[in-house]
């Protein structure tokens, strides 16, 4: 468990300076256009909080929030991306119960509320990240003696079944921060954040027809900077991968861009990594049209905005500060129309919400919104 604490420890000195009162929950504004869910990561008994999402981006808690997620969360800020995911058929939430070494499945009801339907061993220790493509699910476990990537199939009833011989063991000091599939499902990548001073690596695999993984030639690849963390493939191009670099120190944040070959080999694009002048960029979100990337700088409490060129090169547009005190911005996700960006704030259990206009961000006047029952939330789903 101390390894998870060490993962976010470099961010504490900066964010501890930010103190202030919690803000209230936004009032409802118009019809419900979707939902936002977060993994509360609560100790003792974990929960999921859900919100109705309105056309203007505002959020109101769904009746009954927070919802039972089964086993225990860690109860303190935990550095990872993808601790909560949506199934490909959009019927289920898939959540890690990190302290219980479990993965929970929750069915989404028509009113947006959720009901626990399954709890399954993560086949490792301290699961922190989930990747989903169709019926294939991979989990990154980061605990000592049980650090790995391991695969499952999810059926129509929302139950997970392990894939035999799918587990890829990792060293105890790997500290995986995220595992994710390419949009076409042919590749799977995992970031090894590693010790605070490095070394750091990125694992890359080809996904075989049976769901098992074949390492790319040369994998794991040395990261360009210390602390590769949040990652996303370009939604419009499975051959381009973007990875934030979190642990290079104050003002030295950057995002790396890689070409991904058919055999999974990662090659940095020209000019990579791309600096943002901020501290600890840990999470990234890319618009569905593949034109813009947003990097959440946990240490600076800002969001850097990049334009993405056709070849994957990034051009920094600027950085937008988050409003509110005591925030520790974590995982982020865009709504399906790229109208709004939502960021989990683990320091004070809130969600920050921004209107998106191309590569510009404007924080909503109602932001940040308090998370009922929130402990040290991580992972976010926007539907």
The pLDDT tens digits of the residues spanning 190-248 come to 999 999 888 999 999 999 999 999 999 999 999 999 999 999 999 999 999 999 999 99
Q: What is the CA radius of gyration of the chain?
A: 19
What is the percent of the chain where pLDDT is above 70? 92
Condensed to tens digits (0 to 9), the pLDDT of residues 314-363 reads 999 999 999 988 888 999 999 999 999 999 999 899 999 999 999 999 99
Residue 137, pLDDT score: 98
Mean pLDDT confidence for 115-135: 98
pLDDT of residue 325: 80
- CA distances from residue 1 to 112, 232, 344 in whole angstroms, order as listed: 33, 26, 22
Report pLDDT for 17.
31
Rounded distance, CA 205 to CA 216, Å?
5
Contact status, residue 123 vs residue 95, Cβ threshold 8 Å: no
Q: Is the pLDDT at 159 greater than 90, yes or no?
A: yes
Average pLDDT over residues 71-94: 96
In order of start, what are the domains of the chain with their CATH numbers? 2-24+31-382 (2.130.10.10)
Where do we find the tokens 């086993």?
A: 71
pLDDT band at 374 (very low <50, low <70, confident <90, very high): confident
pLDDT at position 13 over 50? no
How far apart are the two ends of the chain, measured CA to CA in Å?
32
Contact indicator for 80, 227 with CB cutoff of 8 Å: no
Answer yes or no: are the C-beta atoms of 48 and 84 closer than 8 Å.
yes
pLDDT at residue 185, as a whole number: 98
**pLDDT digit string (tens) for 269-297?**
999 999 999 999 999 999 999 999 999 99
Q: What is the length of the chain?
A: 383
Is the model's pLDDT at 120 over the cut of 70? Answer: yes
Question: What is the Cα–Cα distance from 281 to 266, expressed in whole angstroms?
Answer: 21
- Token readout for 159 is 């139950």
At 380 the pLDDT is: 98
Average pLDDT, the chain: 92
115: cis peptide before it, omega within 30°?
Answer: no
In this predicted structure, the answer to whether residue 11 has a pLDDT above a threshold of 50 is no
How confident is the model at residue 29, as a pLDDT? 57
SS (H, E, C) the chain: CHHHHHHHHHHHHHHCCCCCCCCCCCCCCCCEEEEEEEECCCECCCEEEEEEEECCCCEEECCCCCEECCCCECCCCCCCCCCEEECCCCCEEEEEEHHHCEEEEEEECCCCCEEEEEEEECCCCCEEEEEEECCEEEEEECCCCCCEEEEEEECCCCCEEECCCCCEECCCCCCEEEEEECCCCCEEEEEECCCCCCCCEEEEEEECCCCCEEECCCCCEECCCCCEEEEEEECCEEEEEEEEECCCCCCCCEEEEEEECCCCCEEECCCCCEECCCCCEEEEEECCCCCEEEEEECCCCEEEEEEECCCCCEEEEEEEECCCCCCCEEEEEECCCCCEEEEEECCCCEEEEEEEECCEEEECCCCCEECCCCCCCEEEEEC
Measured CA to CA, the distance from residue 382 to residue 47 in angstroms comes to 17
Tell me the average pLDDT across 98-117: 98
Instruction: Output the pTM of the full model.
Output: 0.92
Q: What is the pLDDT of residues 20-51, one digit of tens each?
A: 333 344 444 569 999 999 999 999 999 999 99
């Amino acid at each position: 468990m101390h390894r998870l604490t060490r993962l976010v420890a470099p961010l504490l000195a900066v964010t501890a300076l930010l103190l202030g009162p919690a803000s209230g929950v936004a009032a409802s504004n118009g019809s419900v256009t979707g939902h936002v869910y977060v993994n509360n990561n609560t100790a003792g008994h974990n929960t999921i909080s859900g919100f109705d999402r309105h056309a203007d981006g505002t959020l109101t808690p769904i009746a009954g929030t927070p919802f039972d997620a089964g086993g225990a969360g860690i109860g303190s800020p935990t550095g990872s991306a993808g601790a909560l995911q949506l199934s490909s058929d959009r019927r289920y939430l898939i959540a890690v119960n990190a302290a219980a070494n479990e993965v929970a499945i929750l069915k989404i009801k028509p009113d947006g509320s959720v009901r626990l339907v399954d709890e399954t061993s993560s086949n490792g220790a301290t699961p922190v990240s989930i990747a989903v493509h169709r019926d294939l699910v991979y989990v990154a476990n980061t605990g000592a003696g049980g650090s790995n990537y391991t695969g499952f199939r999810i059926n129509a009833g929302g139950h997970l079944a392990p894939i035999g011989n799918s587990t890829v063991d990792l060293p105890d000091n790997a500290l995986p921060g995220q595992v994710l599939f390419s949009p076409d499902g042919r590749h799977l990548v995992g970031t090894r954040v590693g010790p605070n001073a490095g070394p750091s690596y990125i694992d890359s695999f080809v996904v075989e027809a049976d769901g098992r993984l074949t390492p790319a030639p040369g994998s794991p690849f040395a990261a360009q900077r210390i602390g590769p963390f949040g990652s996303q493939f370009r939604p419009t191009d499975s051959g381009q991968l973007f990875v934030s670099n979190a642990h290079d120190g104050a003002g030295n944040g950057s995002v790396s861009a890689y070409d991904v070959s058919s055999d999974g080999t990662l090659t940095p694009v020209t000019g990579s990594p791309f600096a943002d002048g901020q501290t600890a960029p840990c999470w990234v979100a890319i618009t569905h049209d593949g034109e813009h990337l947003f990097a959440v700088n946990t240490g600076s409490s800002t969001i850097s905005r990049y334009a993405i060129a056709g070849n994957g090169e990034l051009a920094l547009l600027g950085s937008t500060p988050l409003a509110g005190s005591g925030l520790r911005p974590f995982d982020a996700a865009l709504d399906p129309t790229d109208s709004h960006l939502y960021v989990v704030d683990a320091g004070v259990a809130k969600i920050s919400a921004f209107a998106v206009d191309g590569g510009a961000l404007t924080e909503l006047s109602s932001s940040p919104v308090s998370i009922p029952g929130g402990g040290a939330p991580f992972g976010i789903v926007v539907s």
